[in-house]
Amino acid sequence: MLNFIIFCFLVVFGAITAYEDLHKKKIRNKWVLFAIVFGIISSIVIEINLRLAGKQTHGLPFIAQFYLNVIFAFLFGYMLWYAGLWSAGDAKLFVAYSFIIPPTIYTVVYPFHFPSIAIIINTFLPFLVYLFFYVILKSKYAFDINFIKKIIQPKLILNLAMFVFGFAWTAQLLFKALSIQPNFFLIISVLFMMLLFATKFLKFGLLPLSLILSILRVTFDFGTLSSWNFWLNYIIMLLVLLILRFYLLGLSYELFSKELYIEDLKSGMILAEEIYKVNSNEYKKRRFVPISFIGALLKRASNNSVVASAGDGLSRKEANFIKRIHSKGFLKDHTIRVYETMPFAVFMFSGAILTFLLGCDIVIFLRGFV
């Protein structure tokens, strides 16, 4: 009966937040607060029921597992927001779903007692599938030979191959140290996160580090390299990253961004071009993709960028700054590209429903049929 009430609340909460994100482009804090209050109350009821029945979940008292999950959800959500992968509203929504769906719903044990990672997987996998087919069907460049030639440049592929070879090994060592059973999706996700944070904090390109890690892998992991299975997985991983980053995001840039007069810039808009300083009296713009493999692998991280919004978009101060340098003639372009955001709350709602019904993530669920 309690699970039915939780599911009903989940549907109502998800429908309201998805509708508001779709039509108003925001998620109000009051709905998140309702979800947190509901989660706390339901967790107390579940704890009482488990104590009366003399039961325990996954080796920890339920209430401890509940709050561990919520804490990890908050930290993970903050990390994705800080990396610019989603907005603060999306991060709060993820925490809200972590409060609503209790650990008793999950049928498997997740690392660090963080079962809400299933919500992330069940959100992003369907989203990527949708994005792939949407872009293929809508983009006029999907089968353009000149566009594809840009993707399969030998230098670009070589740098990406070096990155995957060295950093995938580092990710696997990390999983082993933390006693986590890795899977393909998890490795790809960690590679993305490593790249994002390395680009943000390192003052040099990733190619030298990729080369060092690759040499260490050949030295200490040579036995694995002699396996045909390793090379098959490596090639598949390389192709997936190549398609996701260069093909899919390259096509998405034109589809999900539009040209806008600089005078019409507003706070909250997400730039598709970053503003960088040439000298004291000159600024220019260049194409900006938040997940920048090119910037990380082929050159040093940009240190002359003055505005490159992501996540929550431009602040009012940043928008006014761009207008000011344009009006003074320091930025001669009259237009700038901005991203048209997608209603991500809709995908997170479907991911939460999927998680509740399956009791795990899609990868684990499908593995049961293999």
- Nearest CA to 93 among 194, 20, 197? 20
Per-residue pLDDT band at 312 (split at 50, 70, 90): low
Highest mean pLDDT pick, 114-118, 179-183, 303-307, 352-356: 352-356
Give the dihedral sign, CA 210/212/218/224: negative
Percent of the chain residues topping a pLDDT of 70: 87
* CA separation for the pair 97, 112 (Å, rounded): 18
Q: Between 186 and 165, whose confidence is greater?
A: 165
pLDDT digits (tens, 9 = 90+) for 265-294: 888 788 888 888 888 788 888 876 544 333
Hey, which residues does 316 pair with through a beta bridge?
none
Per-residue pLDDT band at 103 (split at 50, 70, 90): very high
Percent of the chain residues topping a pLDDT of 90: 26
Query: Cβ contacts of residue 244 below 8 Å, gap of 6+?
Result: 128
* CA separation for the pair 89, 348 (Å, rounded): 12
Asked whether 208 and 198 are in contact (CB, 8 A), the reply is no
The reported pLDDT for the residue numbered 201 is: 61
Domain boundaries, the chain: 2-116+344-367, 130-254, 257-339
Query: Cβ contacts of residue 187 below 8 Å, gap of 6+?
Result: 168, 171, 172, 237
Torsion of CA 77, 80, 84, 87, to 10 degrees: -20
